[in-house]
A and B are shown apart, each in its own frame.
Chain A
Amino acid sequence: MAHGGGGRLMNELIRSVFLSAFGCPSGGVQNDAAVLEIPPGRLAMTTDSFVVQPLEFPGGSIGSLAVHGTVNDLAMSGAEPLYLTAGFILEEGLPLEVLARVAQDMAAAARAAGVRIVTGDTKVVERGKGDGIYINTAGVGIVRHGLEISPSSVRPGDSVLLSGDLGRHGMTIMSLRAGLSFGDGLESDSAPLHESVAAVIRAGIPVHCLRDVTRGGLTATLSEIAESAGLTVKLNEMSIPVREDVRAACGLLGLDPLQVACEGRYLAVLPREHEEEALNLMRGCGVSAGACVIGRVEELGTAPLLMTGLLGVERVLTMPSGMQLPRIC
C-alpha cells in the first residue's frame, strides 16, 4: 500500500475493499455528506478513535471494536444507535488482506448491531507514521426516554449492577502480546450493549446512571461515577465475576483484573427496588447473561470507592494514574 496521491492504483484497491465490505468506496456513501432520516426524539451524538495492537484478535478486530465502542457510548446515554461514520488512517505497507478482513468485520458488526455506516473517509500515511490502521467512528442515535442518565442522578442506597465478567478484552489483547495462550481460547468480550440497555429502559426502570467499562477497568469507571456523584460506592469483592483464566493471566502479568479494560460490559446504577427486575431483564440478553449486583451506593465515606473482602476488611480502590507503578516499597 502506498500513501497519498502518489498511489492511484492503491487508492483504487482500497476503494474496492470498502466497496465489497460496505457497498460503497470509503466506508460510507458516495456523496460527500450523508442525508439522514431522523425519527422524533432527542439526538445523541458521540465520537471515538480506535487504536489497538494486534489489529485482529480472538473475538474481533479493530473494525468490530470501532463499531461497538461508538454504539456503546450511545447506548450509555440510553440512546438507540442509528448511524455511524468511519474514518480510516492507514499505514503504508499494511497488507490489503488485513484491511479487507477488518472492513468485513466492521460491516458485519454494524449489521449485527442494526446501525448503518453512512459516510467515511480514508487517508494513507507514510510507513512508520501509523500502527497499521487507526479508525475513528462517530455515531448518531435517538433518545426516546425522559430520564436524566448521569452520575448526578445517583442516590445513596442505589444498587450497582455489572453486566458480566471482567477483563476478557484487555487480557485477550495483553495475552496475545505476551505470547500467552489458553487452552480453550480466551476471547474478547467486545459486543454492542444497546439492546440490553433498551430492555431495562423500556421496562420503565428509572435508571440513574449507565457507563461502559472500558479503559482503566471497573476501578476507573466506578471511581469516576462515584467522584462526580460525590458519593461512595461500596463493592463486595466476592460478588465481582472474573473468569479463572483471566485471573490467572492477570496474576502472571501482575495486573489487577479490576483495572483491565472490557469492550462489552456495562454498569447500571439504579434504585434498589428495581434491582431484581433489572437483573432479570439484563440476564435475558446474551451480552449481559452474567449480570449481577456488585455493590451499593452510600453517602460519601473515607474514599469514593471501597471494596469489602472476605474477612470484612474494606480496601480503598484508587483511580489508577495509568502508569502501573509498583506501590510496594
Chain B
Amino acid sequence: MAITTIEQAAAALKFEIAGMVQGVGFRPHVYRLAVRHGLKGFVRNTESGVEIHVEGEPGAPERFWTALMDGLPEHARVYGVERTVCEPAGFEEFRIEESDSTPGGVPVMLPDLAPCPECLEEMHDPSSRRYHYPFTNCTHCGPRYSIIETMPYDRARTSMKGFRMCPECRREYQDVEDRRFHAQPIGCPSCGPSVKVLFSDGSELGFGHGFDTPAAQVAWVLADGLIVALLGVGGFQLLADASSEAAVRRLRRLKERDAKPFAVMVPDVAAAERLCRLSEEERRLLTSPAAPIVLARGGKDVDLAPSVCMFSRFVGIMLPSSPLHALLMDVWGKPLVVTSGNLSGEPLCVSVEEGLEKLGHVADVFLVHDRPVVRPVDDSVVRVTDGRAMMVRRARGYAPRPVWRTSAAAPDMLALGAGLKNTICWLKRGVAVMSQHLGDLSSAASLNAFERTVEALGRTLDAVPQVIAVDAHPDGPTFALGRRLARKWNATVVPVQHHQAHVLACAVENETPFPALGIAWDGTGFGTDGTVWGGEFFVLEEEGEPRRVARLRPFLLPGGDEAVREPSRCACSLARQMGPWRTYGLDKRLERGMPVRKREVLEAMMARNIHCPSSSSMGRLFDAVAFWCGFDGAAGCEGHAAMMLESWAAEASGEKMPGDAYEWVMHEEGGLLELDWRPLMKSVDEDLLEGVSRGCIARKFHESLVNLVFDVAERFCLDRLVLGGGCFQNAFLLEGLAGMAQSRRCQLSLPQRVPCNDGGISLGQVAAVVRQWKG
C-alpha cells in the first residue's frame, strides 16, 4: 500500500495511453482538464496513442487522471495505460506538443465518421461561413482512415496536406476551446476542398440554369432517371432514383448485377421508418457515427421500384454518411439507390480519372471533389438479429478498428483471409487490426488494392510479419501471394483450414470460454482431406486445432462451381444419392425443372466422376431444398436460393405446421459423426407430394437444423456454441437457434463485430496461428 500512497501524492506523473485516442478531440480535452487542475506539462500523439506528462501540487496529477478516466471524449477508447511516477521537470505551462513518432507501439487509426449534429446544423445555417459546405467536419466527425497516408494522425500525413488553411480555419484549429481544435481535415469554402459536376466525358457542367448548388444540379439529373457517380468518402458510388424502375433496371444492366439487392439512402430516420419496421437497435445503428447500411425488414407498402430489393424481404437502408450526401439528400428528399462505384469484380474507383475511365459507360454525370481518397472504403452493411448487431460487410465507419487483443508476446503476423469477400488482418504486439472489406480477389485491380492494403496497414503499424496465414485452398489467390510475401519478409507461411478459421473468428471475438462446439456452415471451402467442406462441427478446446467431430453426409457437386450457380444440380445429386429412399416428388420436380438430356449428362458425370467434387456443404443443401420447393433457374447472386428458402419460411411463421420438424439421422463413420440428410429429404419429398406449402416445408427444414445443432451439442456434452460461415446470415435460422439456446440454457456466441461470412476468415486465421504458437 505504501506505493499507492506515494503515487497518490506524486507531484508528476507520466501516462502512455494506447487505444483510440487520436482524432477524437482527446488532446484538447486533456489540455482543458490539466489547466483546470492547475497542472503544467504536455500532451502529445505518439504512434501508438497519446503521452501525457502532468506536474503540479502533490495529488493533483492523480485527481486529474481520475477526472480524465471518468469523462473520456465520445469516440475515445482506452486499451492500455502505462503510468510512471517521475520528477517534476519544471514546466512553465501546459502545452499540446507536436506529434512524436516513437516506434514500438501499436498505432490505432480511427474510421471515417458521419457528420455530427453540430456540423450538420452549421451546414444548414445561412449565417455560418460553412453554409452548404460539403466538407464540414470537426474533431467529432469527418474523414479519417480514408484520408490518412501514414501515422501519427496529423494533417501533414493526410490527403488534406495540399490544402493551406485560411487564417480563420487556422484560428479554429489552434483554439483549444474550439470544436475544431486540431481537427486535421478542417476546411472551409475559401480554403478547403470543393466539388465539381462533370459529364462522363470529363467536361464540366456549367452552373446557372437556376441551380445554386451542385447538389441541386445533381438532384435534377437524378429526377430525369439518369445515373450519377458520386465521389464519396471512400470512393465512387453510383446513384439512381429508387422509385424509378427504368433507372434502377438500367443501373443493374450497366453494372452487370443480376439479383443482388441494392441499398437505398433516405434523408432521415422518419423516412427510414416509412420504408422499414425499425427496431431500437436498428435505429441506433442507422444514426450512429459509423452510418452503415442496415438490413431491415421492409414495411407493408414499400415505395420502391421492384428492382431495388428484388426478391429480398429486407431493405438495405442508410442515412447520409457525409456532408455531401446530407446536402444532396436535403434537395432530393426521397429514397435514392446507392451502390458501389466499381466494375464487377474490381475495387471501388477512388480517383476522378479512374472513375471517368471505368464508370463512364455507366454514369451520365459525375459529382466529384478534389480531396484525394487514399484508399477504397466501401459502405458497411449490418443486420440486427436477436437484438444484436451483426456485421455483414465491415468497411467505412468500422475499419480499421482493432477486432481482438491477445498476448503482446504473440508473434507479429499477417493473415491474408479468403479469396472472396476478402479482408486482411494484421496482428501487432497482440492487437488484431482488420482491414476494410476488399472484395473478391479475382481481378488484377482487386489484387493490387489488396496488396496495397497489406503494405499500407503494415507500414502504419510498423509491423513485419513472422508468420503469414493463408487459406488452405491450393488454387486460392491468397495462397500464391502468401508465398511471395513470405519470401519478401522471410516469414513462415501457415495454411489455415477455412472452416476452422470461421469458428475461431467467432470464438475469439466473443472470448467464448472453452470447451465449445464450433459450427461452420457455408457454401464451400477447402477441407484438409482434399474434399469440399461446408457443413462442419468442431470441438474447440483451450489449446490445439479445432477438432472436426461431425459433418453432413457428403454428396457430389456435378460441375463444381456450376453446381453453385444452378441449385438444380445439387438437387439432382441428392436425388441420386438417396440410397434406399426414392424421392418421387423430386423426380417430378426435376422433370419440370431440368431438360432430360441435361439430367442424363449429370448422371453420367456423377457415375464416372467427371468434375464432380464431393462436398459436405450446408449451403448446397439449402440450394437443393430451395429448388425442391420451387426455386427456379440460376442463382442471380450468392446465397440467392437459400435466401428464398429463408423468406418462404418466414412468410409461413404464422401458419399451423403440419407435423414436426424433420428428423436427422446420425451415425459414426470413420471416427466422425455423419449427419445423414437422406431420411430428412425423404420427409421433405413426402410433404411435397402431399401438397404441404413450400413455406411450411422451409420452416420445418429450418427447425430441423436448429434441432440438429443442439442434438450434436448434447452428444458432445457441450453447452457453448460458436457460429461461423455465410449460412448464419439467415435471420430465421439464427432466431431459431437463439430461442433454443435460451430454453436449453446454452451460451450462443454470434459473430458480431466481424462478419460471419468469409470477411471474418482473416481474424480466424490469426487466432489459429496464435493457438499454434501457444501450443
Q: Which residue numbers of A lie inside 8 Å of B, CB to CB?
A: 174, 177-180, 251-255, 301-303, 306, 311-316, 318, 320-321, 323-329
The answer for the CA separation of A324 and B609 in the assembled complex, in Å, is 12
Contacts of A314 in B (CB 8 A): 443-445
Which chain B positions have C-beta within 8 A of A311?
256, 343-344, 361
Of B343, B344, B523, B532, the residue contacting A325 (CB under 8 A) is B532
Q: In the bound complex, do residue B601 and residue A178 qualify as a contact, i.e. CB atoms below 8 Å apart?
A: yes
Task: Report which of B345, B559, B615 forms a contact with A253, defined as CB distance below 8 A.
Answer: B559
Structural contact, B611 and A315, CB atoms closer than 8 A: no
Cα A302 to Cα B598 with chains together (Å) = 39
A311-B343, A314-B443 are contacts. A326–B557 as well, Cβ < 8 Å? Answer: yes
**Contact flag A318-B477 (CB < 8 Å), given A254-B558, A254-B559, A326-B524:** yes
B128 at the interface (CB under 8 A from A): no
Q: For the complex of A and B, list the 7 residue pairs with the smallest distance between their C-beta atoms, beginning with the closest.
A: A254-B559, A254-B562, A314-B444, A179-B604, A302-B444, A321-B474, A328-B564
On whether A316 and B611 interact (CB within 8 A), knowing A177-B604, A326-B557, the answer reads no
Contact assessment for A326 and B561 in the assembled complex, using a CB-CB cutoff below 8 Å: yes
Residue from the set A180, A255, A311 with the largest chain B CB neighbour count within 10 Å: A311
Interface residues on B, range: 35 or more
A254 touches which of B532, B611, B726 (Cβ 8 Å):
B611
Contact call B605/A253, Cβ cutoff below 8 A:
yes
**Looking across the interface, which residue of chain A has its beta carbon closest to that of B476?**
A327
- Chain B 402-420 against A: per-residue CB contact (8 Å), 1 yes, 0 no? 0000000000000000111
| B611:A253 contact, CB within 8 angstroms | yes
Q: Does B480 contact A (CB under 8 A)?
A: yes
* Nearest CB on A from B751, distance (A): 15
Cα A177 to Cα B610 in complex, Å, equals 8
Name 11 A/B residue pairs within 8 A (Cβ), A-sorted.
Answer: A179-B600, A254-B563, A314-B444, A315-B442, A321-B475, A326-B524, A326-B561, A327-B420, A327-B473, A329-B419, A329-B524
CA separation between A51 and B160, bound complex, in Å?
Answer: 65
Check B530 for interface membership: any CB of A closer than 8 A. Answer: yes
| Cross-chain contact B443 with A316 (CB below 8 angstroms) | yes
Q: How far is the CA of A179 from the CA of B608 in the complex (A)?
A: 10
Q: A178-B608, A303-B444, A314-B444 are in contact. Are A326 and B613 (CB under 8 A)?
A: yes
Judge whether A329 and B444 touch: CB under 8 Å: no
Contact A326 B532 (CB under 8 A): yes
Residues of chain A with a CB closer than 8 A to B419's CB: 327, 329
B604 touches A316 (CB 8 A): no
Mark each residue of chain B from 589 to 600: 1 if its CB lies under 8 Å from any CB of chain A, else 0: 000000000101
Within the complex, the shortest CB–CB distance from A254 to chain B, in Å, comes to 3
List the A side residues contacting B474 at CB < 8 Å: 321, 323
In the bound complex, do residue A316 and residue B559 qualify as a contact, i.e. CB atoms below 8 Å apart? Answer: no
* Contact assessment for A312 and B610 in the assembled complex, using a CB-CB cutoff below 8 Å: no
Most buried by B among A254, A255, A312, A328: A254
Residue of B whose beta carbon sits closest to that of A328: B564
Are the C-beta atoms of A323 and B443 separated by less than 8 Å? no
Q: How far is the CB of B166 from chain A (nearest CB, A)?
A: 41
Whether B343 contacts A253 by the Cβ 8 Å rule is no
User: Could you say which of A179, A253, A301, A327 contacts B444, with CB atoms under 8 Å apart?
Assistant: A301
Give the shortest distance, in Å, between A208 (CB) and chain B (any CB).
24
Closest A residue to B344 by CB, please name it. Answer: A313
Q: Which of B344, B361, B442, B522 contacts A329 (CB 8 A)?
A: B522
A177-B604, A318-B480, A321-B474 are known contacts; what are 6 more A-B pairs with Cβ within 8 Å? A179-B601, A306-B444, A316-B443, A323-B475, A326-B613, A327-B476
Q: B205 to chain A: closest CB distance in Å? A: 25
